[in-house]
Structure 1
């Protein structure tokens, strides 16, 4: 028996030029599709709510960065909790002052979440494939940010 795609394979699926073609499945229910993005969003909102409620500017609430404690150098994440606290309270200048790179990350996260939610509603799978060149670029930006914020002329980037 033949199908519009050619002869039918042994399991009953149409055979394509590279072997059997998997039958299309009906999209999952909207609630199931939204489970992963809404669960992720709920976790991030809970973390921001906690950091917004428990002030990282008061000593004793959070552990000290080990790199800062043992070397005196700021890592790319130093000031991230203070930045998140200021961001939650709507103080964007203080958030940028504590960790500008973290604030950029909040914006990127918001864009990715919006795309993920839209794709989930439309029943389009979300696949993020980042090439190695992008990973190297991200690493270079983090390294450059770390070096500059620890030099005298980059003190504006220090928390």
Structure 2
């Protein structure tokens, strides 16, 4: 049975391993020993922020999935809150077994608990399978997202 919990610093090695374990991740992550300090600094910032949650999915003691949820207050939609889901990854050994769906559905329920009216996420255009996956879970591509790397 999959359980979900807030990530701790000792989870970082497994989290970064999962982030780096795909075609796009291996070009932008640095999974090495020791991990670059930037990962610990980012973890500490996330961990201290009450509007950010880094969540791991576990099978027993083994971490098999990760996602970050950011809660943001907005003036639009009559001053509502929204949740943004980022960095969703599953261990390669668990892909295709429904774990990704469990991660997303857990995040949606968490957003409801926090009083959010919208849940949003993005997926890279180089991941058409991910887009279809999110659409199967009820997400609709209503906006065109833009990013600028700095």
Bin for the TM-score computed over the shorter chain: under 0.3
User: Taking CA–CA contacts closer than 8 Å with sequence separation of 6 or more, which of the two structures ends up with the larger relative contact order?
Assistant: 1
* Structure with greater helix percent: 1
Higher strand share: 2
**TM-score of the superposition, structure 2-length normalised?**
0.25
Per the normalisation by structure 1, the TM-score is: 0.24
